[in-house]
A and B are shown apart, each in its own frame.
Chain A
Amino acid sequence: MSEANSDKPTSMVTILLVDDDQSEHLLFERKLAGFSNPAIALGCVEDIDTAVRFLENEPVDMIFLDNRLTPRMDFRETAPKLRDAGFTGPIGLISSDITGDYFQSFPDFGVDFRIGKDEIDAQAITFIMSEFLGKRFENSCDDDPN
């Protein structure tokens, strides 16, 4: 490897965010901004059909799926569509309020984990990367101490 390449990330993680609220795309991008090794490539789409098309064209390591997508779809309809498209990576269900019995069936619909949008920070992302993508993709956020 040449010296010019030595500072390049050793691996790359591609995350797809499916959320019909564009402001969430920006917020999520900011939360991932501190991660550099591995580098995180973020794809953002607003609906499940576009997400399925995205999967056909790009390799994706993990999906963060907003619970409610227009028109009136929830994870019970959207997550199976991602699995039907052949995606076998982790799917995380996100919502502004992830509490309540309503979400208890998430494993039955091919979802791997759930987390409230306000709970997502550098610590949570680090844990998620380690837990669901393995240590090869685990990162310490640049703004973490040490």
Chain B
Amino acid sequence: MLLTCTGNVVGWWWRILLTEIVSEVERNSTLHVGDELHRALNRMDFFRLFKSLATASKFSEFGLVELSSEAESFRYESEMHLHSWASMQLGELDKRFDRTKDVPISQLLTSAVPSVITAVGDELPSPLMLFGEGETMVAIPLTTPMRRRYGLLLIGRSGGISTEELAQVSYEAAIIFQRYYEVILSIDFQTNLSEREIQLVLLTSEGNTSAEIAKKLKLSEHTVNSYTATILRKLKVVNRAHMVAVSIRAGLIN
């Protein structure tokens, strides 16, 4: 009797555990199309969304790349915005491979439609495929309202991808990218400073270092530096001294 009860309890426990695992997998695989898309606040949140898209569409790796230059001057390390690799890995690719022979990057530079690239034999269409196990990758062109060109590379899927799946992945990538533009990229075109940013300019003007500002505002140094970078972009200034000078002239601080 005791054994039966224990067996049932164990059985139920496993069922509950499996249900939780399944619901977690389902939640992760749909993170990028749910409400979290509208809750994304920083680059980490967007990393999670793009990773969710990659995972849900059975790709093991991803990279959001900016296409501001010609293929000859393209650098994997500096032009990948969000990606699933270590920067030092991308730096190695820059040293070891001829970027002009990277098929998906060339596709993104010359085409406005998503493309599927498949590795056949030993020849890899892109050195980025070294990072993924599967032979299929997808290159999805993306554009901001200001006509800045980007591309999402999804890498490492085993087997092919149907036209319907490609359309769905491209649609979801475009939605995430639109939000990424609104939250992260469009800062370059904003000029108004938030209350927190004005507070930071004021503390900088008083001679405080990032570490001192972090302690005073109970933030991390990373967040303080991130705010500073945002202010520099918004005010189109080159350093902290320039930021303070422009803020005083604009009447943002006394």
A145 to B124, CA, bound (A): 15
A104-B39, A115-B44, A126-B86 given as contacts; is B131 within 8 A of A145 (CB)? yes
The A-contacting residues of B in range 4-57, CB under 8 angstroms, are 24, 27-28, 31, 34-36, 39, 41-45, 47-48, 51
A126 to B92, CA, bound (A): 16
A70 to B130, CA, bound (A): 45
Q: Mark A132-146, 1 if CB is under 8 A from B, else 0.
A: 100100111000111
The reply to whether A145 and B221 contact each other, CB–CB distance below 8 Å, is: no
* A117 and chain B: residue at smallest CB distance: B24
The B-contacting residues of A in range 89-143, CB under 8 angstroms, are 89-91, 96-97, 99-101, 103-104, 106-107, 110, 112-116, 118-119, 123-124, 126-128, 130-132, 135, 138-140
A118 to B27, CA, bound (A): 10
A80-B218, A99-B27, A99-B31 given as contacts; is B223 within 8 A of A130 (CB)? no
A87 to B223, CA, bound (A): 13
A112 to B218, CA, bound (A): 11
* A99 and chain B: residue at smallest CB distance: B36
Q: Is B211 an interface residue (CB 8 A)?
A: yes
Total number of A-B contacts with CB less than 8 angstroms?
A: 105
Question: How many A residues, CB 8 Å from partner?
Answer: 41
* A139 and chain B: residue at smallest CB distance: B86
Residues on the A chain within 8 Å of B35, using CB: 99-100
* B42 and chain A: residue at smallest CB distance: A113
A127 to B219, CA, bound (A): 20
The reply to whether B86 and A119 contact each other, CB–CB distance below 8 Å, is: no
The reply to whether B27 and A97 contact each other, CB–CB distance below 8 Å, is: yes
Query: Nearest Cβ distance between residue B108 and chain A, in whole angstroms?
Result: 22
Question: How many B residues, CB 8 Å from partner?
Answer: 39
A97 to B34, CA, bound (A): 14
Residues on the B chain within 8 Å of A139, using CB: 86
Residues on the A chain within 8 Å of B214, using CB: 88
Q: Is A86 an interface residue (CB 8 A)?
A: yes
Residues on the B chain within 8 Å of A145, using CB: 130-133
Residues on the B chain within 8 Å of A96, using CB: 24
Q: Is B215 an interface residue (CB 8 A)?
A: yes
A-B contact pairs, 11 of them (CB 8 A): A83-B215, A83-B219, A99-B31, A112-B44, A113-B45, A115-B48, A130-B86, A132-B222, A140-B86, A140-B89, A145-B130
Sort A-B residue pairs by CB-CB distance and give the 7 closest, nearest first: A83-B218, A113-B44, A140-B86, A88-B214, A123-B84, A88-B221, A110-B218
Query: Residues of B with Cβ closer than 8 Å to A?
Result: 24, 27-28, 31, 34-36, 39, 41-45, 47-48, 51, 61, 82-89, 92, 130-133, 211, 214-215, 218-223
